[in-house]
A and B are shown apart, each in its own frame.
Chain A
Amino acid sequence: MNQPSTIEAADRRFGWFMSAPTLALLLAVILFPVFWALFTSVHDYTLIAPNFDTFTGFRNYLTAIGDSQFRHSLWLTSLFVLGVVLIEFAIGFVVALMLNSVVRFKPIYYGILLCPLLMNPVIVGLIWRMFLHPSLGIVNYLLTVLSIAPVNWLGSTKVAIWTIVMVDIWHQVSFMIVLLLAGLSALPKEPYEAARVDGAGTFKAFRHITLPLMWPVIIVTLLIRLIFAVKTYDLVYIMTRGGPGTATDFVSYFIYRTAFVSLNVGEASAMSAILLALILLLTSYLYRYMRSLS
């Protein structure tokens, strides 16, 4: 009678045994910084006076929420994140499906799509600044050859954010492809064979077999890309510095400036904590959604 519970206990022990090394490492290195950040967010901690002498409670949080520039940067970031995650997913899924269906040239396609991923965002930003130079760049030159008026890629408040989205897609779309392709290659073959016997078409098989089986990988891919997209700051830092005006002032760059330009680490930590709470909320929602599907 007590056998299932011994098995359960052994399972649990084995689970902890498998997680222990990773957890120990994370605890040793990252736990202190995370709590430091949370602790700092309720103190008046600046780089001029880096101490925890003044406890301020939630004042930093209130200041952050009351700052219209901060709210504006949150709004811009959601726009950017939504844009890049959805577009990259759409392109990435199509390419991954195609890639999964071919045999010839597969390593070549794969090698090509890995290239942007191996480039640092700083480099990507710098070379695209060059390509997109309004009067000396190759992109606008090609447009004029096609008799299209040159585009003010980074100098116009309406265009700049989409330019960043475009460059980010070029840079990061392969991230999605790598993960989704791995998911596709891990799919079992039998359901497809069964479906073929039943005479189901390609689209039907996709809709009823591929998509449901792929959900866990899709959700995790979206989630991780989303977390990275929220943290995007190098690209903006190199390409627009949040400008023109405040058109590309994403939240990570805003927090960076609050901490290292305004020297107000306390307030920057509070902003980070707010950001953390928002992403955590979104993640647990997505996570639960994922569970409900499988």
Chain B
Amino acid sequence: MLRQFVLGFALAGGLSAHAYAETVTILMESVPDTEYVKTLVPEFTKETGINVSLEVVNYAEMHTKLVPQLVASKGSYSALVVDFYWVGEFTKAGWLQPLDDRIASDKFDTSVYVPKMMDLVGKVDGVTYMLPFYNYAMGLLYRKDLLADPKNQAEFKAKFGMDLGVPKTWDEYLKQVEFFTKDGMYGVVNQGLRPDPIAMEWSNYLFANGGEYHDDNWKPTLNNEIGVKAIEQYSTNIEKYGPLGAASFSFDEAFNVMAQGKAYSYITYNFFRAGIDDPSKSSVVGKVEIMPVPGPTPETGGSLNGAWGWAIPKSSPNPDAAWKFLKWVESHQTAKKRALQGGSPTRTDVFDDPEVNAKYPYASALKQMLLTSHNFPVFTYTPQLVEVLGRELSLVVAGEKAPAEALATVETEMAELARKDGKLK
């Protein structure tokens, strides 16, 4: 009698536990793509019966919130989004679950991703830890209406002896920056705030001049003619061709200068392309286009790559449900719906989708940007490298250090970090 009662009680308990709908809790940063995912989540719940709770925090503070969670053996988050900055750190510390088994058993196709995306926020040393979520590769926003103005065209030709048009090379672009700094307009607005805005933006200058951060053996290759030239161009652009105070602009201040129609160009994250056509933020709707940052030759690009990936932490309370969510959110269908709302794709089949291209004609430019982009060094100490680089660049822009001296410091500290990480022998 008693046993039956206990058994019945236990059964009822077990049943009711099943009746409880499972919840996938995900910590996300506040970006447009998070908003888009939020609108699609009800479809997932309808399909699987699993609830989704998205906790949104300030992107810059997210790392601080995540670390204690990840150090703990059992955390609160089923799945995470991971910036490429943290990939090295998180995998080295062993905080993420490898996804290869799940990918294989569910036959999830990762070959649809742009290969550079998988390199950046997918695989680390051959193991897949993440599915690329959205990309924030940097591109060149420029005022196409100013380029098309016949008066500008004539003046430019007279001054530089070449036609004014969409810049094919980096040098051509720099000439345009100089040219458009007139009549209260600035040729370019820069984001000179340390550490990541300046470090990320300057990376484009480095790549555009044909430079790279390191050679195949992780030996730093910054302190040379190219590196110095890139820094000099950068500080000239801030001082001579940019608005007052650009040395401390974050992307918000810089974007607002561009959106108020006061600058010809701005090198920034590609999702600002959608923002510039929002009439509540921008007075230059329809006048701005985006393109890959031009490289030293017309065939090469100078864009910096960047992305966030989905991952399941080791401390996840319900990894299986989390994987279900990842599979759903990264399916062609969901990814496409997100792109149609204005999101940044990472999948080739979304980039090439006719509907997406019809709605956003610049989708092909974004794809081109990814294909010609360069990756920032991804290793355990990426954030610290960004910090060092940001500090030294900021010192040069502030006029407190010579370019070569600053680059030498970056090289020393970078080599030290790479050595600590076992990358540099």
Contact = CB atoms under 8 A, between A and B. Distances in A.
A/B: CB atoms within 8 Å of each other: yes
Given A133-B256, A153-B245, A241-B390, 19 more contacts: A47-B71, A48-B89, A48-B93, A135-B244, A136-B260, A136-B262, A152-B245, A152-B247, A154-B248, A155-B244, A156-B247, A157-B400, A241-B194, A245-B394, A245-B400, A260-B63, A260-B67, A261-B387, A263-B384
B89 A134 contact: no
Interface in A134-189: 134-136, 150, 152-157, 160
B195 A245 contact: no
Contacts of A244: 192, 194, 247-248, 394, 397-398
20 contacts: A47-B93, A49-B93, A50-B71, A50-B93, A134-B245, A135-B243, A135-B257, A152-B244, A152-B247, A155-B246, A155-B249, A156-B247, A242-B194, A243-B194, A243-B390, A244-B397, A246-B391, A246-B394, A246-B395, A263-B89
Q: 6 tightest A-B contacts by CB?
A: A134-B245, A155-B245, A245-B398, A155-B248, A154-B248, A155-B247
A261 B383 contact: yes
Given A244-B398, A246-B391, A155 B257 contact: no
A245 B398 CA distance: 6
A63 interface: no
Contacts of B102: none
B259 to A, nearest CB: 10
Contact of B395 (A150, A237, A245, A263): A245
Given A48-B380, A153-B245, A136 B194 contact: no
A141 to B, nearest CB: 13
Contacts of B253: 129, 133, 136
Interface residues of A, number: 32
Contacts of A157: 398-400
A257 B387 contact: yes
A177 B245 CA distance: 34
Contact of A160 (B60, B248, B401): B248
Interface in B191-232: 192-195
Given A133-B253, A157-B398, A262-B387, A241 B193 contact: yes
Interface in A229-275: 237, 240-247, 257, 260-263
Contacts of A160: 248
Given A152-B245, A155-B247, A241-B195, A136 B394 contact: no
B245 A261 contact: no
A98 to B, nearest CB: 36
A261 B64 contact: no
B92 interface: yes
B56 to A, nearest CB: 15
Given A48-B89, A152-B245, A240-B193, A136 B387 contact: no
Nearest to B399: A157
B212 to A, nearest CB: 23
Nearest to B262: A135
Chain A interface SS verdict (over half)? loop
A65 to B, nearest CB: 19
Nearest to A241: B194
A237 B194 CA distance: 10
A261 B384 contact: yes
Contacts of B257: 135-136
A155 B248 CA distance: 5
Nearest to A263: B89
A157 B243 CA distance: 16
A226 to B, nearest CB: 25
Given A50-B71, A242-B194, A244-B247, A136 B256 contact: yes
B257 to A, nearest CB: 7
Most chain B beta-carbon contacts within 10 A, residue among A122, A243, A257, A262 = A243
Contacts of A129: 250, 252-253
A48 B243 CA distance: 41
A122 B58 CA distance: 11
A152 B239 CA distance: 12
A257 B391 CA distance: 12
A48 B384 CA distance: 13
A242 B71 CA distance: 28
Interface in B334-358: none
A240 B248 contact: yes
Most chain A beta-carbon contacts within 10 A, residue among B195, B244, B262, B390 = B244
Contact of A262 (B249, B384, B394): B384
Contacts of A242: 194, 391
A241 B197 CA distance: 10
A182 to B, nearest CB: 34
Contacts of A48: 89, 92-93, 380
Contacts of B243: 134-135
A257 B381 CA distance: 12
B139 to A, nearest CB: 23
Contacts of B380: 48
A243 B394 contact: yes
Nearest to A69: B391
A31 B245 CA distance: 45
Contacts of B397: 244-245
A152 B249 CA distance: 11
A103 B313 CA distance: 61
